[in-house]
Structure 1
Amino acid sequence: MYSIIFFLILTTNGFIFSDKENIILVPSAAFRNHLNVVSTDWLLYNQGWYYEEDSIQAVIMEKSLEKIIKKDLDINRIKLFTAHGKEKKNVCIDGLNRSMCTSTDDEGRIKNTFQITNNEMNRFVRTDINTAKVLYQISVPNKNIRTTGEIYLCDDNGITFISDIDDTIKITGVTSSTDTLINTFSGDFKSVSGMSDIYQYWQKKYNATFAYLTASPDQLYPFLREFLDRENFPSGSSHMRHFTWFDENFISFFMSNNYIKSKTETIQMFIDNTFNRTFILLGDIFQKDPDIYASIYMKYPNRIGKIFVRKYNNDTSGLQRLQQVFQDIPQRKWSTFESGSDLPKDIFLV
């Protein structure tokens, strides 16, 4: 009898868990519509996830991981990894030129593209610290679920900084499975020294926009957003993968090379949807960022203003690898750094 009650009402330290539904919206981007050469319309992308928590699975995962890494973990983060997507469910988009409804996919993900005119964009756009964005809402019919999302404008001209997150601006430790687990599920995320300062400086100096690319799953977005806001990084779109339990396991997902395709496609999306915008690419040496960025540069040399790669101090073998990866790229187009203070204030100074 008591075992049945335990599985129906799960309690920890007197707190009663109840599974709940919610939506995560990850900030996305908007581009000019170049499908019609005479059009001044905008194409807006949205991205999100409609999910339901599984409190029992969350506690099981929490206790299992704590035995492995010998450290207390954040149950709120774990809940998002044990949640399941609400597949083929109706959700409605509000707050723009018209209301529209769509369905989630087989993983509960929300992925849509919609179009508004330039006049409508001027009506909806908000500007904050040189950053133009549109706010919209997604709701679930007949349920008290409503979430606000952001779409950041990326026009044809200007400068965009495309930055990796893990071990570029946030200490993750992707070279160690244990460090990755600890830094993902335990405590506050920690910033790489000086990175937010130089990003803020570049934003003001170049009137730049920012886009954040990461191999991390979108289940981490609420906590990444808290980190970005707390450390005063410039706001911008975020481009993440999605973890499901069909993946082998969290560590293999996090450290796998299949993010190369998603990162490459995202950068190419920005380049292909803007005519004259210049892009600055920032990443780290610990995964495949240099290979991705070198490949992008060789394809679009006139669109890449600079490549910056973070490495460890006295990493001779790492530097040799970079020199090999970037052997066909002019030396003035790439450089390394260890912290934000190593990065130049004037990027285009030869």
Structure 2
Amino acid sequence: MLTTFNSVIYLLFAVLALGSLAPLSSHPHWFIRGWDYPRVQIVLIAIVAAVAFFAVNSFGAEPPAISWKSITVLAVAIAAWHLFRIVPYTFVAPTQATAWDPPQSSGVSAEQRRFRMLVTNVEMENGQFEQWSRVVEQTDADVVIAAEIDGRWTSTLEKLKPIFPHQIIYPQDNWYGMAMLSRLPILESEIRFRVQDDVPSIDAMIELPSGEAIRVIGVHPRPPEPIRDNDATARDAELVLWGKELAEDDRPIVIGGDLNDVAWSPSTRLFLRLSQLLDPRRGRGFYNSFHADHVWMRFPLDHVFHSTHFAIRELKRMEHVGSDHFPILIDLQYQPVLKDEQRPLEEKASDEEEAEEKLRRAAESEEINTVSAFFPARTPSIT
């Protein structure tokens, strides 16, 4: 019995070690990229497995085939490897995005430069329309980015017009429909198809009460996942294209949505270095948004990134809305004086080469329609 138990522990550590090293490969296969997600879970499993190994073998008459010291070293190495990536998203790390300091605001009223945005993947099959609407109304958001909008959801969005009179709705029945609801005027907008012609993004200019305009973008790239045997090629290419484009835009920018990627993955960090945007999660917490129904399998998949023009008033995960994703609310203060004071992630010499490799791989993929940053926009439903 003890031998069997130890064999299971040895096999478990072998799997954890190999899985931990897998993301070092740039291969886009879902099995490789999937190991980017459960870093917190791997740390906990390694610690629990090591403790169980020590506890069980302390009563054994025969010494284990692998020494306690070796198991300890392996468990510490695995935990340290993953903690290196996830600690920046905990309270022990410094924040990247500056917290709002009211005394710094001057001139235009601070409330007129405030911007609240809710990012929500409604889950296309979700039928709890009233619950979702109630939570949305409670957030007092200025803009709502909603992913997985299909025809069933359009009437629910229409009912919110008294609160959000400006609406861009592009319903689809493939889990990639999208909508942008706004209580603030939408000055201009377009539907963008960056990589695949059935995966839209919404790109809009929103006017704040102060009269200043900010660029707001909603995204939902296709994930790497085993059920449909999708790899990460499309998602990574889309993030690269957005990163390169936004780096050339000096206007205030907020981009959010279900990225189908964790905050600490190589792809998301490359996007942040390319775009020079800020991640408000860094130094504040994980804000795990998926899976809403399974505590043991939660990851930060729904994101909001913003330019250095903004300070953070609040970042919050909202309550369950019937979806497999929790909504994420961000409360920003447009404060242009911070533009040259906040520090995005430092660019690496290899970033351009890595970005081009991801675009080249996408261009060669039979599953991808285009990787043109200027793919023709389609006419959205603006109501």
* TM-score between the two structures when normalised by the length of structure 2: 0.30
Higher strand share: 1
Higher RCO structure, 1 or 2 (CA under 8 Å, sep 6+):
2
* TM-score between the two structures when normalised by the length of structure 1: 0.32
